[in-house]
Amino acid sequence: MTSTTTLGPIELEVITGTIRSAELEIEAAVERTARSPMIRDQHDYRVALFDARGRKLTGRSYSALVEPVFEYFDDGDIHPGDVFFWNDPYNSCGGIGHVPDLCTTVPIFKDDRLIGFSQVFGHHDDVGGMVPGSLPVQAHDMWAEGLVIPPIKLYEKGMVNEAAFSIIERNSRLSEHLRGDLDSEIGAAVLGSRRIIAMADRYGVDALEAAYDAIIENCARTIREELLPKIEDGVYTFEDYIESDGFNIGPYAMRLTMTKTPEKLILDFAGTDPETEGPINWAIDYTEGRFVRKWMGPVLRSLAATPERAAEIDMNEGCLDVIEARFPDKGTLITPTFGRPTGQRFYLLLRSLGIFAGALSKATKGKMPADHETIRIWGVHGDDRAGEFYLFREVLGGGGPGRPWSDGSDVVHIVPNSRNLPAEFSETRYPVLVEKLGLATDSGGAGYRRGGMGYDKQIRVLSDCSLISNADRSVLQPYGVNGGMAGVHYSVSTHSDDGESKSLPGMLDQYTVEKDLVINIRTTGGGGWGDPLDREPESVRYDVLCDNVSSEAAREVYGVVLTGRAHTLAVDETATEKLRETMRSEREPLPMFDRGPSFAVLKDEGRINWPDGWADPDEGFMATGELPA
Amino acid sequence: MSELRVSVDTGGTFTDVVAVYDDGRVHAIKTPSTPGDPSAALLSGIRQVVEESGSVMPDVDIVVHGTTTATNAVLEHKFSGLGLLVTEGFRHLLEIARQSVPDGYGNSFFWVKPPRLVPLHLVREVGGRMDQTGTVLRELDEKALVESVQELVDQGVDRLGVCLIHSYVNDQHERRIAEIIGEHFPDLFLSLSAEVLPEYREYERAMTTLVDVMVKPYVRTYLGRAHEELNKEAGDTPLLLMQSNGGVVSAKAAGERPVTMLLSGPAGGVLGAVHVAEQVGLTDILTLDAGGTSTDICLVENMSPNITTQSLIEHYPVKTPMLDIATVAAGGGSIAWIGQFGSLKVGPQSVGADPGPICYGRGGTDPSVTDAAVSLGWLPAEFIGGDLVLDVESSRAAFEELGQTLELSAEEAASGVLEIAAANQVHGIRQVTTTKGRDPADYTLLAFGGSGALLAAVSADFLNIRSILVPPFPGNLSAYGLQVSDVRRDYVRTLVRLESKSDPAEIDRHWSSLEEQGRQELRDQGIAEEDWELLRVADMRYYGEAHEVRVSLPSGLSGLDAVEAMWRLFHPEHDSVYGFSYPGEQEVELVQLRVQAVGQMSRPASLRLSGSGSPEPIGSRQIYWRDLGWTETPLYDRYELPDGARAPGPAVIQEYGSTIVVPPGWDASIDEFGNVRLEATR
């Protein structure tokens, strides 16, 4: 095949399409060959392709970084057949957040010329540390969480580093899984690199590298020309909280000051609370925050004209052109000093998206989606019917956010294609009976577009067992936007057949549940969007018909008067209009953000305090009262 | 009198009808589909093809029908009138689905859940509960049931799905519901999950059951009418339906379980391709079936098309076994357009049949892949045997304009469109190969359909595929393929058992009972016993995995030998699918038993094309190649080329309804069956 040396629109389109389909191919290869259920079934892994400078080319998902290769290895020390490897949260330039995420990076060469990198990282079942699963709630430092590996070469010019491999394997309780996972990740990364080499063969390295520039520039242009103009210039603050660090009760605040200019967004995290004893820290203050800028950038997609358009927008290295990050000095939740534990940093990951969306809501007259909390782990373990140990563990989603274009979707998970466990599977495998797999009435935050519903899952345990719950948002609630109300918080409780019930804390380990008790898990509803009194009465009637909303809430929150029941349920238009008029005249003006009653209690108790130079970010921002066009 | 078989392939826009005589004669016509009553086009098409090929209706021996009718009903969201009964506590089954959000990380911010098949107010819970062993924990609440169904009927439900927890182990409650409904609501269409898909995983089983009952009234009515009319005109003639598993079944049986017809559209082409491959001794091929709007791709190994039970129709899972076909929106009609920041895009929109490409001169204004090929001389200005003279100048002008926007010449723009269209096909080929751990370079590409042979070699170059086969009459292969199928029915039963704790006799007993169902059905289909084949299949995994591997046992294996073979063959099969296995190290778990009942049917004569003319070019014309620029290129007439003739690239071989492009770097030759074989020369 001839190799052209200039990049035209044809080469660019084929290379862009090939990189996009290579990303899917690498993902398929990981899913096909990995061993850990966390990777194969919960889809907790990310893949990416980068150029020779470590700039991210793929755009469907966030990824780790390539910078540790440059930082730890000299220019001349990157060779065909090398496989770079690390999981060190403090020596991965901010790209890896906790030790179960093992990151594999393969350089791509066309002949002798480095033309890019292919990378896969996945959440492994076990990398040692104080508890099985390597996510201890009560870890005092990073070393309690598992084996820590700074950037090394797992292969050098195609030769395996057996010493490293055997140390890594020996440090896992599930060494077979681990070895299988690593082989899978290396194989998948190599597969991805072949697609890039094929493009270099077909069009030449110069055209390929020119295409890299264009792919990154197109992302930056999309953000700059399509999304930024929807954000008003100015300075905006927002904050949100984590309830507990496993040892102490917070709340612990992550704070953001967002400055918007015509060309840029500057994200300054000054004011974030100090680092904690327990594992909720997140070390991201490296390499100008490149990781967190690319992690947060995709939130901007919600400003696209339609959800279909939002799904099309690739977010690659081009984000960095438009988003800057600034960090406080060492010693905060997001700038922890070396060695602080980070295992449960996923609360902060979600909080960072929420505070960015909140600041954007202020800057767009409330046009952003409300808040949603979609990751928590619950489970039981004990002896099964045959007397053998079992662990039944599930990542459960929560209600999606209300947004101008739609109610929140019910029980969704932020990780794409992650699935819950069917009742028929659970009952066949574990000594449980699923009494209810439902949605929790009134869990979605009320609004013109209400939040999605959380789970109401009831599981009867058929033998004595231990309960695990790793959940934040068990007191505080996902916030509502622009007059919408907060979604209901997470809860876990046990119930006996004679009516006795016990409410339990969200972060819990080793709690014994007796045979025949029913465990009730209710996950968070999404925050609502817009004034509930503006919701179409017919939508409220339908929600009541389906038990998504109680008839009490229909009247008291939505101001809708209903008559009849079941399929004779009808809206009393006149009474509704009158009730809504009264409610409007009697209430205070609606705020831009509603964090729910439990937050108000914390505030009254004086437990929400701001550092110098900070004020309550919610203060003074009111709902616009405007409905979407 | 020679045997006459008729194939009717009903698509959304056109119905293709082919008459195949046992002396190898083939006659094909194309007629507009009639979506309101598909039986109308079916019958008028049969009449027309019979008449044009010089026969009369009573000569018709068999009609085989493939249709996208059922698929289209789902795609068009014709969900009204559907209701669902579930076990108490599971009313939100469809709302929750599997909690999964498709595609990118963080799409949960903006993604909107697609409409459910049944809105929540038309889902009713039924008291009563089984456990995973089929033991009744709570009895069925029969009284409340009648009231619930009455409420649904009052609200307009005329089709009802029933999906109770663990009904795949014990169908007693579902069967009792069917009895009660038969008594009280005899007009209600009903599908039971234990009959449609006796597999565990309640959401997927419920969805498959709902799709089944959704298309039931429609499919039954039109198939019944079509068969009645056919028998009136042609005498007692079998009407067989193509299913998504690549086998056929009687129209009556298809109406009983219409979900098996979903996505059966492209199956005929795959079967036809397998037949062609078999003739020339190829066992491993990739089928590339390219038409006007899309390209269907299927991986065939050891003469068997790959099967999947993971299909989605749009967003909706349908778990019956189907040929694993990837469809990409790339065809002759795909539109070239300018995207964001001046990028050049091809598809997914297509010019369709009306108005068609610019060069057809029927008012089309969007430049398509066909226009690009015409303007570069890849396609002739006048199709062989057609009276359609193409408007080459208008096509060229369109690329002149497109090129100006892109700062390219018309030729560069047009050849770029072909390059991009081929790259789109390449992404589809990777979906069925590299993502399954297969290297496409290990397979021969079998290219057919109206535009399959246009870009096959360009696509092959991307993938290092070095061999392509284009069968005779590539445009008719799908319809012909309907005639080289067998009766195939799938039976499944969930039986979760660990190897160490399993009872081989129990497993064999369940397999035997599935086989008995298969025998009964083959008997009902009137297949002679010597033509029966019962294949045992097991879905298995290592304990702890969430995905199963299909282990197909060699034909003829039964009894306890089959159980023993199942445990043994699992390890190598797992290795071939996932690339690792742990024989003797890790516990294996059986999840599902399957049986495929095959009733072998007689085959028509093979497609053959023997040119008796000259092996020389019939002329030449100026053709633009991306590597060479404008080049005087030899042209061949496929109907003239005899066995052994060669056409070194660059060359173009023309025939009715299709054009085979042999780019530089490829050579074409004719084999004894009249297949054109393209081989890469560099």
Which tens digits make up the pLDDT trace of B306-345?
Answer: 988 888 888 889 999 999 999 998 899 999 999 988 899 9
Q: Is A405 on the interface with B (CB under 8 A)?
A: yes
Average pLDDT of B414-428?
A: 96
pLDDT band at B387 (very low <50, low <70, confident <90, very high): low
Q: Which of B160, B192, B218 is the last residue of a domain?
A: B218
Residue B305 falls within a domain, yes or no?
A: no
Distance CA B571, CA B583 (A): 6
Residue B535 falls within a domain, yes or no?
A: yes
Instruction: Indicate whether B108 and B212 sit together in one domain.
Output: yes
| Closest Cβ–Cβ partner in A16, A400, A439 for B108 | A400
Q: Is the pLDDT of residue A1 over 50?
A: no
Residue B455 falls within a domain, yes or no?
A: no
Q: Which of A189, A223, A257 is the last residue of a domain?
A: A223
Q: Is the pLDDT of residue B44 over 50?
A: yes
Distance CA A251, CA B397 (A): 68
| Closest Cβ–Cβ partner in B104, B201, B423 for A17 | B423
Packing angle of the helix pair B559-578, A9-33 (nearest 10 deg): 140
Q: Tokens representing A129?
A: 């540390």
Sign of the C-alpha dihedral, residues B371, B375, B377, B380? positive
Average pLDDT of B483-499?
A: 92
What pLDDT score does B542 carry? Answer: 87
What pLDDT score does A550 carry? Answer: 97
Q: Which of B564, B599, B634 is the last residue of a domain?
A: B599
Contact A411/B112, CB-based, under 8 Å?
Answer: no
**What are the backbone dihedrals phi and psi of residue B86, each rounded to the nearest 5 degrees, phi first?**
-130, 170
| Closest Cβ–Cβ partner in B89, B430, B582 for A437 | B89
Residue A42 falls within a domain, yes or no?
A: yes
Residue A251 falls within a domain, yes or no?
A: no
Residue B456 falls within a domain, yes or no?
A: no
Contact B546/A566, CB-based, under 8 Å?
Answer: no
Residue A272 falls within a domain, yes or no?
A: no
List the domain range (segments joined by +) for residue B553.
Answer: 493-599
Query: What would the pLDDT profile of B92-121 be if each residue is shown by its tens digit?
Result: 999 999 888 988 888 999 999 999 999 999
Contact B357, B395 (CB under 8 A): yes
Residue B433 falls within a domain, yes or no?
A: no
Q: Is the pLDDT of residue A529 over 90?
A: yes
Instruction: Indicate whether A486 and A551 sit together in one domain.
Output: no
What pLDDT score does A531 carry? Answer: 98
Contact B420/A310, CB-based, under 8 Å?
Answer: no
Distance CA A279, CA B324 (A): 45
Residue B123 falls within a domain, yes or no?
A: yes
List the domain range (segments joined by +) for residue A571.
Answer: 540-589
| Closest Cβ–Cβ partner in A12, A28, A405 for B343 | A12
Radius of gyration of chain A (CA): 25
Instruction: Indicate whether A545 and A447 sit together in one domain.
Output: no
CA of B672 to nearest chain A CA: how many angstroms apart? 32
Q: Is the pLDDT of residue B353 over 50?
A: yes
Instruction: Indicate whether A606 and A621 sit together in one domain.
Output: yes
Contact list, A1 vs chain B (CB under 8 Å): 461, 627
Instruction: Indicate whether A139 and A22 sit together in one domain.
Output: yes
Average pLDDT of A146-174?
A: 95
Instruction: Indicate whether A190 and A96 sit together in one domain.
Output: yes
Contact A14/B419, CB-based, under 8 Å?
Answer: yes
Specify the range with the lowest mean pLDDT, choosing from A21-35, A99-113, A308-322. A21-35
Q: Is the pLDDT of residue A358 over 70?
A: yes
Q: Is the pLDDT of residue A79 over 90?
A: yes
Distance CA B261, CA B569 (A): 31
Instruction: Indicate whether A202 and A134 sit together in one domain.
Output: yes
Contact list, A406 vs chain B (CB under 8 Å): 112
- The pLDDT mean for chain B works out to 91
A-to-B residue pairs, Cβ atoms closer than 8 angstroms: 240
What pLDDT score does A615 carry? Answer: 95
Radius of gyration of chain B (CA): 26
Instruction: Indicate whether B396 and B508 sit together in one domain.
Output: no
Residue A305 falls within a domain, yes or no?
A: no
Residue A136 falls within a domain, yes or no?
A: yes
Distance CA B155, CA A458 (A): 30
Query: What would the pLDDT profile of B661-675 be if each residue is shown by its tens digit?
Result: 999 999 999 999 999
Q: Is the pLDDT of residue A574 over 50?
A: yes
| A-proximal residues of B, 559-578, CB under 8 Å | 577-578
Residue B451 falls within a domain, yes or no?
A: no
Instruction: Indicate whether A480 and A550 sit together in one domain.
Output: no
Q: Is the pLDDT of residue B243 over 50?
A: yes
Q: Is the pLDDT of residue B2 over 70?
A: no
Query: What would the pLDDT profile of B560-610 be if each residue is shown by its tens digit?
Result: 999 999 999 999 998 888 777 889 888 899 999 999 999 998 888 777 777
Query: What would the pLDDT profile of B452-479 be if each residue is shown by its tens digit?
Result: 999 999 999 999 999 999 999 898 888 8
Residue with tokens 């220019």: A75
Instruction: Indicate whether A544 and A467 sit together in one domain.
Output: no
Instruction: Indicate whether A385 and A487 sit together in one domain.
Output: yes
| Closest Cβ–Cβ partner in B109, B434, B461 for A299 | B109
Residue A340 falls within a domain, yes or no?
A: no
Residue A348 falls within a domain, yes or no?
A: no
- The pLDDT mean for chain A works out to 94
Contact A9/B343, CB-based, under 8 Å?
Answer: yes
What pLDDT score does B11 carry? Answer: 76
Average pLDDT of B486-498?
A: 92
Query: What would the pLDDT profile of B611-664 be if each residue is shown by its tens digit?
Result: 888 899 999 999 999 989 999 999 999 999 999 999 998 999 998 878 999 999
Diameter of chain B measured on Cα atoms = 82
What pLDDT score does B446 carry? Answer: 98
Specify the range with the lowest mean pLDDT, choosing from A28-37, A189-198, A463-472. A28-37
Which of A218, A437, A545 should be substituted to probe chain B, the one whose Cβ sees the most B Cβ atoms within 10 Å? A437
Contact B138, B127 (CB under 8 A): yes
What pLDDT score does B676 carry? Answer: 97
In chain A, the residue whose alpha carbon lies closest to the alpha carbon of B458 is: A1
Burial pattern A464-476, b for ≥16 Cβ within 10 A else e, equals ebebbbbbbbbbb
Contact B105/A61, CB-based, under 8 Å?
Answer: yes
Residue B56 falls within a domain, yes or no?
A: no
Instruction: Indicate whether B409 and B529 sit together in one domain.
Output: no
Here the ipTM equals 0.95
Q: Is the pLDDT of residue A398 over 80?
A: yes
Instruction: Indicate whether A156 and A67 sit together in one domain.
Output: yes
* Beta bridge partner(s), residue B594: B492, B537
Continuous segment of H or E residues that includes residue B15: strand B14-21
Continuous segment of H or E residues that includes residue A32: helix A9-33
pLDDT band at A450 (very low <50, low <70, confident <90, very high): very high
Q: Tokens representing A206?
A: 């110069």
Q: Is B133 on the interface with A (CB under 8 A)?
A: no
Q: Is the pLDDT of residue B509 over 60?
A: yes
Q: Is the pLDDT of residue A2 over 70?
A: no
- Tell which wins on pLDDT, A36 or B438: B438
Instruction: Indicate whether A576 and A524 sit together in one domain.
Output: no
Give yes or no for a cis peptide into A251 (omega within 30° of 0): yes
What pLDDT score does B385 carry? Answer: 59
Q: Is the pLDDT of residue A42 over 80?
A: no
Domain count, chain B: 3
Instruction: Indicate whether A509 and A558 sit together in one domain.
Output: no
Domain count, chain A: 3
Distance CA B30, CA B33 (A): 9
User: For residues B454, B459, B464 and B467, what is the CA-based torsion angle, rounded to 10 degrees?
Assistant: -30
Contact B632, B621 (CB under 8 A): yes
Q: Tokens representing A183?
A: 């082989």
Q: Which of B574, B599, B624 is the last residue of a domain?
A: B599
Q: Is the pLDDT of residue A3 over 70?
A: no
Residue A359 falls within a domain, yes or no?
A: no
